[in-house]
Amino acid sequence: MQFIGIIPARYASTRFPGKPLARIGGRSMIHRVVERASRCEVLNEVVVATDDARIFDHVAEFGKAVMTGKHHRSGTERCLEALQYLNKEGTYSPDDCVINIQGDEPFIDPRQIAQIAQMFADERVQIATLARKFDRGEEAANPDKVKVVLANNGKALYFSREAIPYASRRRTSADVGRHPCYQHLGLYAYRIATLERIALLSPGQLEQAEQLEQLRWLEHDFEIFVQETTIESIAIDTPGDIAGIPPNLLG
């Protein structure tokens, strides 16, 4: 089985225009993401999928980029267009996998990419992602941190910006161990055949309410398998987030 790492990177972020090109400790954010992803030996190739010539030209200095259209509703659709370009010669089969790596997580751990790839050893898995237990109760109340509730079989039941299960909305740090709340990490992987199907789905009511694309897949009865990771991921949503990066990560 082959794995393609695709990093969607838009220039026109509402809260942080030009975010992929923002400098973090001397290198651009997108450079750091590509660098980290490339350390994962399970990936056959790592490609940035962008809609902007400035990002395309910048990535070409150190990696591989594909120019995609500006009309995409989601990173998943952008991944599919990039895959179609990469697969013009039929290099990849329907059972191979695309790993959608977030372009705003400059410190992503290659071990997490390898972990999500390993989930596809189970032939039932068509879509996979990771989650991490919150360390502190107050984190669960942050709507920028997406939460996920899991079934006993490891499949996602629901994703929300609210703290779910409900008890987590009133919990203290001491309650976290008794009633764990899981943060969803924005790392997705899909078999190519499944990616081709979900990219064509129309947004549902749950997605529109929460502004979470993965709810579209659940509404259309796709199963999302989830594994727990203990590695924290740092997402950059605003310019202020860069100022809060611990110095030890800036090497």
Give residue-wise pLDDT tens across range 136-184: 766 788 888 899 999 999 999 999 999 888 764 555 555 555 667 899 9
Residue-wise DSSP of 96-131: SEEEE--TT-TT--HHHHHHHHHGGGSTT-SEEEEE
- Euclidean distance between CA atoms 102 and 205, whole angstroms: 24
CA 174 to chain centre: 30
pLDDT of 203 higher than 70? yes
- Euclidean distance between CA atoms 223 and 129, whole angstroms: 11
- Euclidean distance between CA atoms 8 and 48, whole angstroms: 6
| Domains of the chain: residue spans and CATH | 3-231 (3.90.550.10)
Instruction: End-to-end CA distance of the chain: give it in Å, rounded.
Output: 33
What pLDDT digit, counting tens, does each position of 29-87 carry?
A: 999 999 999 999 999 999 999 999 999 999 999 999 999 988 888 889 999 999 999 99
- pTM, two decimals, is 0.92
Q: What angle do CA 145, 149, 153 make, to 5 degrees?
A: 140
CA distances from 156 to 31, 59, 205, 214, 222 (A): 32, 34, 18, 10, 10
